[in-house]
Amino acid sequence: MNADFKTIALVGKFNSPGCSSSLLRLADFLRGRGHAVMISVHTADICEIRGFEVATLNEIGAVADLAIVMGGDGTLLNIARTLVDHRVPLIGVNQGRLGFLADVSIDTMFTTLEEMLSGRYVVEDRILLEASVERHEDVLIASYAFNDVVVSKSSTGRLIEFEVYIDNQFVYSQRADGLVVASPTGSTAYALSSGGPILHPTLEAVVMVPICPHTLSARPIAVNSRSEIEINLIHADDGRVHFDGQRHADLKIGDRVVINRAHNTIRLLHPEGHNYYDTLRQKLHWGEKL
């Protein structure tokens, strides 16, 4: 596979001032290979990087052939939502432990990136969710979510009550702490800790997982990713909707949260030989002796 990444953007973890050394070394490495290098505005400011072109994320989306995100899965989630409509492929460099998304180790990033930028990489397209909150006839907020959309109680600690529809067909009413609607990517996040199944990232499916439901019969449901999911809030003292745990909006009784698959997908680039099951085994400690 030929790699033709003429312009490469670098984005670092927004609240990590200690990133400057690694990012600067990476920027010099890329420029040494003949790539044009752009640094996101926030990254350049926080890491105090000078001597490279600085651009907003929208400007990066319009120009860059590739974005390398340094930080962790949370950072990559945020950048992915911003760049999805620009169709910029992403590589995640993890500054900590191996991530589900950011799977290039900072300890080996130069060797790994040399191989990937020479064309030795695996392409993976992942679906994204888009959701809106509707109150009467008004759309209060609309947002992408790479991992999940979560309707839940907020600070009062009391159960909420909601109805769920799939493609305009009534599914159930539920009293619970909330409901997680997760993409295959998000199936290993909040949905997993709530008892949901693991979906392979390439599946065309979305999973709905109740959070602490007030019934023993509630079970996760996987539906076609082309389905429209609607959650109507029936009762709540303090309801809220979260998008990837990074954006949120307060809900009132009668609000509708409508969730669909986004038109575009996120394109992730992995090192050659990438194996999703290896990642699962390492992250979830499968097979380890207690």
pLDDT for the residue numbered 247: 93
Ordered structural domains, the chain, with CATH: 7-127+265-284 (3.40.50.10330), 129-261 (2.60.200.30)
Q: Which residue has the higher pLDDT, 216 or 150?
A: 150
Decide if pLDDT at 184 tops 90: yes
How far apart CA 288 and CA 282 sit, in angstroms, is 9
Residue 224 Cα distances to 10, 164, 182, 219, 272, angstroms:
35, 15, 12, 17, 30
Q: What is the mean pLDDT of the chain?
A: 93
Span 118-142, average pLDDT: 96
First to last CA, the chain: 42
Confidence of residue 2 (pLDDT cuts 50, 70, 90): very low
The predicted-structure confidence for 185-217, as pLDDT tens digits, reads as follows: 999 999 999 999 999 999 999 999 999 999 999
Cβ neighbours of residue 240 under 8 Å, at least 6 residues apart? 151, 152, 153, 154, 248, 249, 250, 251
pLDDT in tens, 13-54: 866 655 678 899 999 999 999 999 999 998 988 888 888 999
Q: Is-contact 208 178, C-beta < 8 A?
A: no
Q: Can you tell me the distance from the alpha carbon of 249 to that of 188, in angstroms, rounded to the nearest whole number?
A: 23
For the chain, give the percent of residues with pLDDT over 90. 79
Q: Are 259 and 130 in contact (CB under 8 A)?
A: yes
Specify the DSSP element, H or E, that contains 70: strand 66-71
- Residues labelled as active-site residues: 73
Residues 61-85, mean pLDDT to the nearest whole number:
94
Does the pLDDT at position 248 exceed 50? yes
Tokens found for residue 279: 């990642």
Residue type, 141: I
